[in-house]
Amino acid sequence: MRGFTLLELLVVISIIGMLAALSLPNFMSARERARDAQRKSDLKQIQKALELYKLDQSPPAFPAILPAPGTAWTVGSNTYMNKFPGDLSAPYFYFPDNVNLTYELAACLENQADTDGAGCPGGYTCSSGICYIVNEP
């Protein structure tokens, strides 16, 4: 009866172990990129809701603060967002300027190699040191 030797089994197991070790960091990076993509999408949704809010105000203005994550953003009979997005591990920063009718939204990014990232505004810092910033269009 012919089978595998112990040396052959050890070689195969070590090859499988090396492949698994090489793929794990790539998997973790993919998760970071996915969370960053969600943060960017959230900021774009908030940006659209802020523009709708400004159009409904007379005179045009932006809210002083944003709703808490997970709550509805409703003012009077207008619903701007059914569920306000948020990231509890990395909060979103909001800086309104109603004098110039501008604002700045920012979210911390995990992936330091993200080309959309920039320095964080307003003295806020992130663990990665990189923020994604959305301005009033």
Q: How many whole angstroms separate alpha carbon 36 and alpha carbon 3?
A: 49
The whole-model pTM stands at 0.78
Listed by start position, the domains of the chain span 6-135
Long-range contacts of 21-24 (CB under 8 A, 24+ apart): none
SS3 25: helix
For the stretch 106-130, pLDDT in tens is: 998 988 888 888 888 777 788 878 8
Residues of the chain with pLDDT under 50: none
